[in-house]
Amino acid sequence: MNILLVLILVTWSILIPSGAELFEERMDDDNVCRTPVCQERAMLINASINSSVDPCSDFFSYACGGWISNHTPSSHGRYSVTDELQEQRSQKMKSIMEELTIVDFDQSVVHKAYVLYNTCVEFPHQKNRQGGLLHVLSSAGFPDWPIISNDTGAQKWENSTEMLRDVGILPVLDVFVKEDDETSIYYIQ
């Protein structure tokens, strides 16, 4: 009986790891936030927290106070993480658009977006913006765009239909309502 008990204890000590070994193994498997993206987001969350506020008495100030005091530009009435991400996306899109070159044939959707972007960049202060827009549309394969042409032939309407199908309506027409940052009782479009 004693030999059996000793045999069980020896087997148990060999097969079952100690608490320290379990903890080490757990630490090795604990890859909660090891990627650069995760660490960047963790820094953003830490910067958003106002640790001088007791979370039990004012959780909003605790969770958002750091963000409000560190990130909200004076020109904005409100500024959220979503606003910052949209701004980053716009900057990324701008850098992509600035690296493209226009092609005269077989344009992809990206190239058509570049045509619209380039229109705004090339002609922002030009007095004859319509002429600039006509030039860009002409170079993009829409020389007789019917909305700005006097001739309304059926063939020309097909050009605009193709453009709207390929590019979408938002580059041509964008409608929104936004609260005025300066005076919150007014709305602007």
**86 domain residue, yes or no:** no
**137 domain residue, yes or no:** yes
pLDDT in tens, 14-62: 666 555 555 555 555 566 788 888 888 888 888 888 889 998 998 888 8
**150 domain residue, yes or no:** yes
**115 domain residue, yes or no:** yes
Domain count of the fold of the chain: 1
**130 domain residue, yes or no:** yes
**64 domain residue, yes or no:** no
pLDDT in tens, 134-186: 666 666 666 555 555 555 554 454 556 666 665 555 555 555 566 655 565 65
**161 domain residue, yes or no:** yes
**36 domain residue, yes or no:** no
- pTM score, two decimals? 0.40
Q: Which of 154, 155, 119, 152 is nearest to 138 (CA)?
A: 119
Q: Which domain holds residue 117?
A: 92-167
